[in-house]
Amino acid sequence: MTAKDQPQKRCSWYSAGLNARAIEMSSIDRKLLDELREILGDGGIVSRATELKVYECDGWTVEKSIPDVLLLPRSTSQLSAILAALHRRGVAFVPRGAGTGLSGGCLPLNAPAMICTSKMNRIVEIDLDNRRVVAESGVVNLHITNAVKAKGFFYAPDPSSQVACTIGGNIAENSGGPHTLKYGVTTNHVLALELVLPEGDVVELGDPTEERCGYDLVGAVVGAEGTTGIVTRATLKLMREPENHRTLLATFPDADTATHAVSKIIASGIVPAALEMMDQLIIQAVEQAFNVGLPLDAGAVLIIELEGLEAGLTSHADEVTKTALAAGASSIRLARDEAERALLWKARKRAFGAVGRLAPNYATQDGVVPRTCLPRILRVIADVSRRYDLRIGNVFHAGDGNLHPIILYDEREPDQVRRAIEAGREILKACIEMGGSLTGEHGIGVEKIGEMALMFSPDDLRVMTELRHVFDPLERSNPGKVIPQPGTCVEVAAPRRQVPI
Amino acid sequence: MRRGCRAAPPGTDLVAATEIVAVTTSSNLANRLDSIVGTGHVRAPTNSEARAADTIVEPGSVEEICELVRMCEADRIALAPMGAARSLAVIRPSPVALGISMARLARIVAYEPDDMTIVAESGITVGALNTAMGSARQRLPVDPCNPSVTTLGSLVCAAHSGPLRLSEGTSRDLLIGVRFVGHGGNLVHGGGRVVKNVAGYDLMKLMGGSFGTLGIVTEVTFKVRPVPAEYWVAVIPCARAADAFAAARIVNDALPLSNLDILSPSFARRFNSTLQFLLLAGFSGSPLEIGYQAERIRDLVGPRGEILDDEAALRSYGLLRDLDFRSAPLAAQIAVPLAHLGRALEACGDDIEFRAHAGSGVAQILLADEPSAERAVKTVARWREAAHSARGTLRLLAATPAIRDSLEVFDTPNAGALSLMRRLKAAFDPAGIFNPGCFVGGI
């Protein structure tokens, strides 16, 4: 591998067909700034470069870009007013929740204004009779469950960042989490939305029922990565807490054996609520950080959670235990109590944080393969790790076939950055070749936009662009995301940093 | 003049468009259709299809559909995809010029039991699909009335569902990939073959419930589920509807049921119920889970009713699933927030019969006797008022030809949403040929 220190452009391949315009985006002048300050008050606007530095990236830290101004509306009407003001001047914007995204979804590309919904954080209505809750988009994911769990309910999507990430961000990215194996992702739990269109118009989409009237525009907005305007409020479904759980920790000599066991368990007809895998590198990191008692000599572990009626759980757990041992597990144990279960989940959900101890930087991939291809893709990842001379850890949603290879690197060494990106791309390519997807729950963002053409034809992308234009004809809401286009070339290896002065 | 539907987007000259249709639906058209799909695959509609389309073609490949779309766009001929044409017959005010039958596109493309996903062409029926998965003890758990005639295309595009929606969701929750022929005759795909996927916009959601107005779905990919080891059902007679809804709520709060349905008197009688209303609570799982749930239900609702097991349970489930609303003179589906369903049905009037999915807030309702046009209008207005005052929606499922024209099939979405829907329609169907003039707001 040669150590080239040249920025590598991922320019768009995509120019055929559509009226693909290199869209001129206006910037923010003092007059507009005054107008925005008038709407939001002093506390609702941040324009000092030193303070804006915090917003230079989300959880995808490979690329950075600082907005010119950060706007913090407190209500739908304020948000509507600022979008109308930006629209009059042709200024593009990027919506942001808590900035916990992992694909650079809220990285500003030609978008001078960043609009953060974190101050719109009220739970508006809790309606347990109808098993739903209405929340503003800045509400933190876990706060929903916290507000209803005493009554035996919960909000199902549980991304690892759920202590911080917001409902608005979850909707933009169609977030998942370990328990999506049983419950599905965000889109399966959103009934209705209040959306502010890029011109500032407020629209209500969907109904508080389980049927839709007309086109399913809620379904179109969820997962659109903020390219259809800004969601201000959502009606979410609540689920009934299951009667009980069994959480098992199965230890395997190597990752290959563990992934074979995944298919065997699912094929036995028992669909767990969650089925997660961590490999040796991650086990070591998690143990160093949290000391939860994971076996340090294990090649891989599976966390298997069963839930449902107490009457059936013991026999299901026995059956899973038998299946796992027959598939090569060296041992399997049951979490003794709620405390031990909580510790296992803490280890799993904070694995990303623990990885911070292993290297200065890491990039997380989010490819998906059909479950039966897990053994093959893990062999590919191991091979990529060797060839690119980078350590790659695996902690992922095995039951869904949703990988999270964590590629460790040091951003101070440009060649490592370049290799990390190349390695990630090679893994994604392999996922697609196995009939999989670029992303299971993190979104395309800036990270994978160059790979969209691996998965979608020009006709597919043209139609998706037509859909985007229904909501945002001028592409001012999070420009440059989801669909690759000219004018959104992303420079990697030389991360963008605007002058912070 | 022909009944051929005018295919023109709002704002264009409808008269001119009609003339084009009149000219092209001559022998000239028949010849061109023959040349695309082959002789023998162009036919007149059967009696049950006559309300849906004037001419039926049965393409044998996706390429033929692409070519049909291009031809229809060039000549402004309205077309619509169809399975058994039952939904089209209700929603269309007049037949579309060309019905695209999916009967010859009915293959399973890929099925990998260990991945629990299946890819199939949209013309295969739900019943045939589930038969093919039977040996692996898996199924697509969406259960419309008469699955042996409901095609996957219809299941998705006309948003059919059944009692199992409580535990398994609807096709919206299980559809993970779609291929459709859109404008320009281009084949477009969204999603994929993996159970979790957020790459690109969610075109599956757009096609769901779109009634063929955005394109022709040719292939779908579903997540599938294991068939539970056992299925039993508790059959609980109740004197009043309110009692049935109260009992339903108690069991729904206590147990993860498979289905939970309430039947009005004339349906209840088919289950040999001696009382007016009937609550059917289906539950499934391993033998241990089944035994436990049966006992819990007995504790919760007391000694009334009985619990059917095995064959008897499956028989009664089949009867429940196949209650036929689309053959009624007038029928509709109401959807409200779940706790309001009992009250909303009460507000629909005492002349209705219903099947309520009590755990989902969705019910099908019908009038048993054919009403006059005047009474039909009044009845549907009352139903709509009942749905709307509970913050819900209503959609017609059936209306006889005599009364159909005086009724709106769909509710009208709010102005903001409708304006986006019109833009969506214009973007996906610039020539205005895909099943025009029968969806919400006249789309």
Residue by residue, DSSP assigns B284-298 as EESHHHHHHHHHHHH
Phi–psi pair at A47, nearest 5 degrees: -130, 0
Contacts of B288 in chain A (CB under 8 A): 311-312, 315
Q: Looking at residue A269, what is its pLDDT? A: 84
Q: What dihedral do alpha carbons A140, A144, A145, A149 form, nearest 10°?
A: 140
CB contact under 8 A, A372 and B112: yes
Q: Which helix (H) or strand (E) holds A375?
A: helix A374-388
Instruction: Give chain A positions within 8 Å (CB) of B117.
Output: 370
- Residue B321 CA to residue B308 CA, distance in Å, equals 16
From first to last of the 501 residues of chain A, give the pLDDT tens digit: 333 333 333 333 333 333 333 445 578 899 999 999 999 998 999 999 999 999 999 988 888 899 999 999 999 999 999 999 999 999 999 999 999 998 999 999 989 999 999 999 999 999 999 999 999 999 999 999 999 999 999 999 999 899 999 999 999 999 999 898 999 999 999 999 999 999 999 999 999 999 999 999 999 999 999 999 999 999 999 999 999 999 999 999 999 999 999 988 988 888 899 999 999 999 999 998 888 889 999 999 999 999 999 999 999 999 999 999 999 999 999 999 999 999 899 888 888 888 888 899 988 889 999 999 999 999 999 999 999 999 999 999 999 999 999 999 998 999 999 999 899 999 999 999 999 999 999 999 998 999 999 999 999 999 999 999 999 999 999 999 999 974 443 434 333 332 222
Q: Minimal CA–CA distance to A485: which of A16, A27, A5, A51? A: A16
d(CA A435, CA A410): 32
pLDDT of residue A20: 36
Ranges of beta strands (E only) in B1-136 are: 42-43, 53-57, 79-82, 96-101, 108-112, 117-121
Q: Which residues of B touch A240 (CB under 8 A)?
A: 253, 256
Taking the CA of residue A29 and the nearest CA in chain B, the distance in Å comes to: 31
Would the CA dihedral through A386, A392, A393, A399 be positive or negative?
negative
Q: Do B199 and A439 touch (CB under 8 A)?
A: yes
B209 with A215: Cβ contact below 8 A: yes
Dihedral sign for Cα B210, B387, B143, A397, please.
Answer: positive
Question: In which residue are the tokens 């009867």 written?
Answer: B319
Backbone dihedral angles phi then psi of residue B120, each to the nearest 5 degrees: -145, 155
Phi, psi of A486 (to 5 degrees): -65, 150
Is A466 an interface residue toward B (CB < 8 Å)?
yes
CA-to-CA dists, residue A338 to A52, A334, B260, angstroms: 41, 11, 32
Which amino acid would we find at residue A120? M
Q: Do A437 and B187 touch (CB under 8 A)?
A: no
CA distances (Å), A159 to each of A146, A259, A352, in order? Answer: 15, 22, 12
Comparing alpha-carbon positions, the chain A residue that sits nearest to B359 is A130
Q: Does the beta-carbon distance from A437 to B194 stay under 8 Å?
A: yes
Helix axes A280-290, A338-349, angle to 10 degrees: 120
Cβ–Cβ gap B337/A209 under 8 Å: yes
Q: Give B-chain residues touching A128 at CB under 8 angstroms.
A: none
Establish how many alpha carbons lie within 13 A of residue B263's alpha carbon, considering only the half-sphere containing its beta carbon. Answer: 29
DSSP string, A444-462: -TTTTGGGHHHHS-HHHHH
pLDDT for the residue A26: 73
Is the Cβ of A397 closer than 8 Å to some Cβ of chain B? Answer: yes
Is the complex ipTM higher than 0.90?
yes
Chain A environment of B361 (Cβ under 8 Å): 130, 209-210
Helix (H), strand (E) at residue A115? strand A113-116
Question: Do B191 and B246 form a contact (C-beta atoms < 8 A)?
Answer: no
pLDDT value of residue A13: 31
CB contact under 8 A, B424 and A457: no
* A383 touches B at CB < 8 Å: no
DSSP-based three-state secondary structure for A478: coil
Report pLDDT for A292. Answer: 85
The mean pLDDT value for B265-270 works out to 94
The DSSP secondary structure of A234-275, one letter per residue, reads EEEE-EEPPSEEEEEEEEESSHHHHHHHHHHHHHTT---SEE
Which chain B residues are within 8 Å of A312, Cβ to Cβ? 285-286, 288-289, 292
Cα torsion angle, B242, B246, B247, B253, sign: positive
**Of B252, B238, B243, whose CA–CA distance to B338 is shortest?**
B252
Asked whether the beta carbons of residue B393 and residue A457 sit closer than 8 angstroms, the reply is no
Pick from B143, B129, B137: nearest CA to B113 = B137
Residues in chain B closer than 8 A to A440 (CB atoms)? 194, 196-198
Alpha-carbon distance of A27 to A43, in angstroms, equals 22
- pLDDT score of B367: 96
Residue B117 scores a pLDDT above 70: yes
pLDDT of residue B26: 61
Query: How does the average pLDDT of chain B come out, rounded?
Result: 93
When CB atoms are compared, the residue of A203, A209, A316 closest to B336 is A209
B113 neighbourhood in chain A, CB within 8 Å: 267
How far apart CA B305 and CA B308 sit, in angstroms, is 10
pLDDT value, residue A25: 57
Quick check: A220 and B360 CB within 8 A? no
Q: What is the pLDDT of residue A10?
A: 35
Q: Which residues of A117-143 are buried (b: 16+ CB within 10 A; e: fewer)?
A: bbbbbebeeeeeebbbbbbbbbbbbbb
Residue type, A156: A
Q: Give A458's contacts (C-beta < 8 A, 6+ positions apart).
A: A14, A16, A17
Chain A residues lying within 8 Å of B225, measured CB to CB: 271
Using alpha carbons, select from B140, B118, B194 the residue that is nearest to residue A371.
Answer: B194
**Which residues does residue A301 pair with via DSSP β-bridges, in sequence order?**
A251, A278
Q: Which letter does DSSP use for residue A499 in this model?
A: -
Hey, is A85 helix, strand or coil?
helix
Cβ contacts of B369 within 8 Å, gap of 6 or more? B329
Angle, alpha carbons B275-B277-B282 (nearest 5°)? 110
pLDDT (tens digit per residue) in B198-232: 999 999 999 999 999 999 999 999 999 999 999 99
A 276-295 residues inside an 8 A Cβ radius of B? none
CB-CB: which of A173, A212, A309 is closest to B209? A212
Backbone φ, ψ for residue A152 (5° rounding): 85, 20
**Residue in B293, B339, B420 nearest the CB of A471:** B420
Whether the predicted pLDDT of B20 surpasses 80: no
Of the two residues B299 and B8, the one the predictor is more confident about is B299
Q: What is the mean pLDDT of residues B87-109?
A: 96
Interface test with B, best of A215, A235, A455, A477 (most B CBs within 10 A): A215
Q: Is the separation of the CB atoms in A58 and A105 below 8 Å? A: yes
CB of A311 within 8 Å of any CB in chain B?
yes
* B187, B340, B420: residue with CB nearest A459: B187
A17 at the B interface (CB within 8 A)? no
Provide the pLDDT for residue A418: 93
* Under 8 Å between Cβ of A72 and A118: yes
What gap in Å lies between CA B289 and CA A247, rounded to an integer? 18
**Residues B267, B355 contacting (CB under 8 angstroms):** yes
pLDDT confidence of residue B303: 83
Position B280 pLDDT exceeds 90: yes
Report how far Cα A269 is from the mean position of its chain's Cα atoms. 29
| Residue B71 near residue B35, CB atoms below 8 Å | no
Report the residue of chain B nearest A196, measured CA to CA. Answer: B416
A473: region left, alpha or beta (phi > 0 left; psi from -120 to 50 alpha): alpha
pLDDT(B19) > 60: no
CB within 8 Å: A308 and B289: yes
Q: What is the pLDDT of residue A365?
A: 87
Contact of A115 with A95, CB cutoff 8 Å: yes
Q: Which helix (H) or strand (E) holds B129?
A: helix B126-133
A·B CB contacts under 8 A? 253
Residue A151 contacts B where some CB pair is shorter than 8 Å: no
Per-residue pLDDT tens digits for B191-200: 999 999 999 9
Q: Are strands B96-101 and B53-57 parallel, antiparallel or unpaired?
A: parallel
Q: What was the pLDDT predicted at B25?
A: 52
**Helix pair A374-388, A414-433: axis angle to 10 deg:** 160
A211 in contact with B at a CB cutoff of 8 Å? yes
Chain B neighbors of A176, CB-CB under 8 A: 196
Give how far B94 is from chain A: nearest CA, Å.
20
For B119-149, how does the pLDDT look when each residue is reduced to its tens digit (9 = 90+)? 999 999 999 999 999 999 999 999 999 999 9
Name chain B contacts of A238, Cβ cutoff 8 Å. Answer: none
Residue A290: count other Cβ atoms within 10 Å of its Cβ. Answer: 16
| Cα separations in angstroms, A372 against A103, A256, A399 | 26, 12, 10
